[in-house]
Structure 1
Amino acid sequence: MDTRRLMLLLVFGLSLFMLWDAWQKHQNPQLAPQAQTQGGAPAAAADGVTPQPSSGLKAAAGQIETAAPAAAAAAEKLSVSTDLFKVEISTQGGDLVWQELARFSAHSDKTRLFELFSPKHKYAAQTGLIGDGLPNHKTLLKPVPGPRELAEGEDSFQVRLEAPVVGGVKATKVYTFRRGSYLIDVAWEIENGGKQTLTPHAYFQLQRDQTPPEGDSFMLSTFTGAAVYTEAEKYQKVAYKDIAEGKAKFAKQGNDGWLAMVQHYFVTAWAPQGDAPREFYMRKVADDPSGGLYATGLILPVAQLAPGAKAEVKVPLFAGPQEQATLKQVAPGLDLVVDYGWLHIIAAPIFWALEFINKLVGNWGWSIVVLTILIKLAFFPLSAASYKSMAKMRQMTPRLVQLKERFADDKARLNQEMMKLYQTEKINPLGGCLPILIQIPVFIALYWVLLGAVEMRDAPWILWIKDLSAADPYYVLPVIMMASMFIQTKLNPTPPDPIQAKVMMMMPLIFGVMFFFFPAGLVLYWVVNNILSIAQQWQITRMIEAGGDKPKAANDAKA
């Protein structure tokens, strides 16, 4: 029995350790100074302003007078609003520097709306053109008069900003906003009024510091960093630390794919359409005094421009919640930013089932309850076998204690007598482990689904639970969970070793305190699962102890 109990304890402990270790891998401590750019990757200019394409993508650009970068103090901000969000666009480079999402509240203050792009995180979407005299994200642009909000009855509108004309070249940055969409088209229109042929490039980058988002903590640390996807290399996460140390591994070139900045529940991504060649780059911003600012982006070629010719390069920018159905429509593989790790093959159908149930019941809290019941029913035969083995072991506890007292000084004889008892009673001391081992991946996958689903954010359940992604404000669910774990401990066989018995009695308190910091949706799942397990285990134990499935040794003694 000692072996079986230790196995269960080790399995549970290992599962929790794996989760904790995965969280900590995504922590972002203060990092070392910027390393040299890796070979084959687009390089930053010496002043850290404009990325440069590699020789494979670059062609000779026309030589015209260089436009001087504008001073930040001279820039103004344009307020723009749609039905889903508000943004601010700086006239310096036309950067998107602030965004407030109308459907999501801030983590710490529910009276405020959530900010994705924000000066607080130095988080911005930047674009520019590569070529002498062409505007970059430091150039002061002039806003063109036009609408700044989505009018009633309109489905879209544009915001245009013009760059200074240098050498006869006119460049205009164009934002297109649409109703009911987090997708923003960002384009550069170029008109070559000069005398030389131009072959410019355009870059689209996301700049952010390494500060974790609100709600990220030691107990619930999720990935914050960059991500790249190409059809050949698939989904690749890149930590800030690897970027700073020059160890970042990601696809540098391709004819498809997207680039993103990922954080818990939300994502920003540049998702070029079509099969135009593109290069991806990541770097630590050298001229940032804080030492923790990163730029990740992509470079696209623009059509060759003869004198008098015009061209346009456009890339959609997604900036919003990680709603998987929406992300799948934006770009192939973008839904992978909702990262379930190595359990994705199990977690994906679990989320699909949870989403389907929610369409029927209309409440994510009750959807969690229903899904937990369905999973419990699916594993009912395995759980029954495990609890039956535990019940039989529970009946053996007095005899095992006697054996331990009798052969306390002879460990070899004790093990021999214990094995003999197991054979006589036809009990496998590890019989309860295999069913539990089979269920563990499913339960961990469900855990990650509930942790990563943005649908839980601001989703109420009942009464005091107003947000399933936040901790229970009155700790009612964690206390219920602690009580349920204590009841389960009482239903399980008592270990003959007093120290082991005390450890098992402390487990509800230890794990209960941990769950005080967990989102209410996760704790709700564990509470429902524990209550169902208690009911099943109590019924099986009662049937075995009251029925005719008593130990043979006890029956022989009565005879």
Structure 2
Amino acid sequence: MSDQKNLIVAIALSVAILLGFQFFYEVPRTEQQQAEQARQLAASGTQTPGPEATSDPLKPGPDAPASGSAEAPAATAESAMAASPRVAINSPRLHGSIALRGARIDDLTLADYHVTVEKQSPEITLLSPVGSANPYYAEFGWTPEPGSDVKVPTSRTLWQAEGGPLTPASPLKLTWDNGEGLRFERVVALDRQYMFTVKDSVVNYGEEPVTLYPYGLVSRHGMPKTVGFYILHEGFLGVFNEKLLEEKYDDIAEDGRVRESSNDGWLGITDKYWLTALVPSQGEHFEGSFRHSPAGEKFQADYLKDAVTVPAGASAETTNRLFAGAKEVGVLEGYEDSLGIQRFDLAIDWGWFYFLTKPIFYALDYIYGVVGNFGLAIIILVIAIKIVFLPLAHKSYVSMSKMKNLQPEMMKLRERYGEDRAKLNQEMMGLYKKEKVNPASGCLPILLQIPVFFALYKVLFVSIEMRHQPFYGWISDLSAPDPTNIFTAFGMIPWDAPSFLHLGIWPLLMGVSMFLQQKLNPQPVDPMQARIFLIMPIMFTFLLASFPAGLVIYWTCNNLLSMGQQWLIMHRMKVKKT
């Protein structure tokens, strides 16, 4: 067998191993994750009530230790909400409230997104108060310089509200007086998307100047549940001096703290689809950090701005922003342009093939805007990619057709020199040279499409725009695996099949199309190689059964188009059927 044939086998097996990583390190199915989240939402309203947690965050002071107090058992969602007076948040895309005790933004749900594909399922809960099942909140404020006894607002401070509810048309004003010469004022505004603007001011009506540090923090209690897949980052992230920094929860829990200094950028905590990010005023220096406290299992992203000295009889103001919502490409890029937030689009984990992933997303999104269905957009994208690669693919299929015509000659050489491998390879290469055939040319289109395949996989996996997008028939979510299963007769057999026996209709169609396409290719001379090639469609069928349905549709349509093109070329060249 020629070295070129070995190369083809090596490439094919390498692709299989890469795809098989997901099979052996299986990601929990989307349906299971959604069901678990629904159970958590239901459980948050039925747990045993407990006392109010102390809930002090890890203050981002100049030399604040990474410490925190242990918290009380989780109370019901209702009792956690009732622990503080609240002002409602009502916008087209966000629902929730601000706690007047501590002035925290700690109650937020996403109006446009639900736990499952069913519209009647609960809205996605992003932020929750201390005392609930999964505390997660944002806080802004002032911290005094070390050694100072200046009284500043804390998590227990009860602010006074003027107005409410908070809507895009009506900001909310909060005030608190420390009774010692300082009045703290806050104006919270919310746009029609996911951005809060928080303007904090300090009025010094005392007789002495005071020095304070503005800060912002996002705190999350408990080890968050993540998808746990190697191609997706969940945890801390931020952009400091135009460079992206990503840190996993486990790494911060082990190291305790990571610090970065910058004059621009942002930082926060990300999930697969959701982001809570602090955005300091661009152009102002700040010290950012990611930290963890084992007491209460707290994870926190925070920043501390430079000291502000407020003379007696004067005031000072600082502006902070908070993004809390879905990682929609258009929204993130809109903020990047309008607010000058550096590289805000990197909140989405585009991956190694960033240069391909984003263009593929733009192409799909544009086509979707025309046809109104992401499944159709994927099929049209396949056709467009085939057109782009048409000259190269044509040359490859012509070469493979010539190879197929050479099968009888190759078999004769094998019968003649089968025991002499060196002589057989020499004669094979002579035959290829004589007939002007390159046996490795068929690999080139596959090699070129591998990055496109993985880039499309990334788009389907991380883009919120693809979440819960239906196709025709039984596919209700292109970002999830095909829900059908031939081993349960599509639900007629009451059997909870193991995950490796979950095989839907689209993966089966993909496997059949791959098998038929292989039949059009030159058949391997070596029996062992022929058996490997025969097994590959079966292996890929089961591997892709756990992949997003949109990706399987892409692969199936690509196979069918390739078969059609190859058949036409073979018919034109009068290739003999074998």
Cα offset for 1:509?
2.1
Cα offset for 1:502?
2.1
Aligned to 1:508: 537
Deviations 1:535-556 (A, max 9, x none): 1122223323349xx9xxxxxx
The one of 156, 165, 183 equivalent to 1:139 is 156
Q: Is the 8 A contact 2:16 2:540 kept in 1?
A: no
Cα offset for 1:21?
7.0
Partner letter of residue 470 of structure 2? Answer: P
Change (3 A) 1:315 1:149: closer
Identity of aligned residues (%): 34
Change (3 A) 1:205 1:12: farther
Distance (whole Å) between structure 2 residues aligned to residue 438 and residue 48 of structure 1: 50
- Root-mean-square deviation (CA, aligned residues, Å) is 3.4
Partner letter of residue 141 of structure 2? Answer: G
Aligned to 2:11: 11
Distance (whole Å) between structure 1 residues aligned to residue 511 and residue 257 of structure 2: 43
Q: Is the 8 A contact 2:357 2:458 kept in 1?
A: yes
Structure 1 runs of 4+ with >6 Å offset: 19-25, 68-74, 247-250
Cα offset for 1:164?
6.0
Q: Is the 8 A contact 1:127 1:137 kept in 2?
A: no
Aligned to 2:253: 244
Deviations 1:65-120 (A, max 9, x none): xxx99999783263422111112433442222232111111148652222222455
Q: Does 1:85 align with 2:94?
A: yes
Note the residue ranges of structure 1 that are not aligned, 5 or more in a row: 28-46, 56-67, 551-559
Distance (whole Å) between structure 2 residues aligned to residue 443 and residue 249 of structure 1: 35
Distance (whole Å) between structure 2 residues aligned to residue 513 and residue 335 of structure 1: 34
Change (3 A) 1:525 1:133: farther
Aligned to 2:83: 75
What is the TM-score when the length of structure 1 is the normalising length?
A: 0.81
Deviations 1:410-434 (A, max 9, x none): 2222212222222222211212223
Aligned to 2:322: 317
SS at match of 1:144: strand
Partner letter of residue 201 of structure 1? Answer: Y
What pairs with 1:478-517 in structure 2 (closer than 5 Å)?
478-517=507-546
Distance (whole Å) between structure 2 residues aligned to residue 205 and residue 159 of structure 1: 20
Q: Is the 8 A contact 1:105 1:458 kept in 2?
A: no
Q: Is the 8 A contact 2:196 2:321 kept in 1?
A: yes
Partner letter of residue 561 of structure 2? Answer: L
Distance (whole Å) between structure 2 residues aligned to residue 9 and residue 264 of structure 1: 35
Aligned to 1:442: 452
Note the residue ranges of structure 2 that are not aligned, 5 or more in a row: 28-55, 336-340, 485-503
Q: Is the 8 A contact 1:385 1:435 kept in 2?
A: no
What pairs with 1:296-307 in structure 2 (closer than 5 Å)?
296-301=301-306, 303-307=308-312
Aligned to 2:211: 199
The one of 261, 272, 275 equivalent to 2:269 is 261
Aligned to 1:391: 401
Q: Does 1:165 align with 2:178?
A: yes
Aligned to 2:110: 101
SS at match of 2:573: helix
SS at match of 1:271: strand
Change (3 A) 1:521 1:410: same
SS at match of 1:540: helix
Q: Does 1:189 align with 2:198?
A: no
Distance (whole Å) between structure 2 residues aligned to residue 247 and residue 417 of structure 1: 65
Q: Does 1:281 align with 2:289?
A: yes
Aligned to 2:62: 53
Distance (whole Å) between structure 1 residues aligned to residue 249 and residue 236 of structure 2: 7
Cα offset for 1:17?
5.1
Aligned to 2:550: 521
Partner letter of residue 241 of structure 1? Answer: D
Change (3 A) 1:164 1:523: farther
What is the TM-score when the length of structure 2 is the normalising length?
A: 0.78
Cα offset for 1:253?
1.3
Q: Is the 8 A contact 2:117 2:477 kept in 1?
A: no
Aligned to 1:371: 381
Q: Is the 8 A contact 2:278 2:320 kept in 1?
A: yes
Cα offset for 1:186?
2.4
Aligned to 1:336: 346
Q: Is the 8 A contact 1:130 1:200 kept in 2?
A: yes
Cα offset for 1:143?
4.5
Aligned to 1:148: 165
Q: Does 1:124 align with 2:137?
A: yes
Q: Please, which moves more after superposition, 401-410 or 357-366?
A: 401-410
Change (3 A) 1:375 1:121: farther
Distance (whole Å) between structure 2 residues aligned to residue 200 and residue 419 of structure 1: 79
Paired residues, what number? 504
Change (3 A) 1:184 1:481: same
Distance (whole Å) between structure 1 residues aligned to residue 374 and residue 382 of structure 2: 12
Distance (whole Å) between structure 1 residues aligned to residue 19 and residue 268 of structure 2: 24
Change (3 A) 1:529 1:121: farther
Distance (whole Å) between structure 2 residues aligned to residue 187 and residue 260 of structure 1: 19
Aligned to 1:400: 410
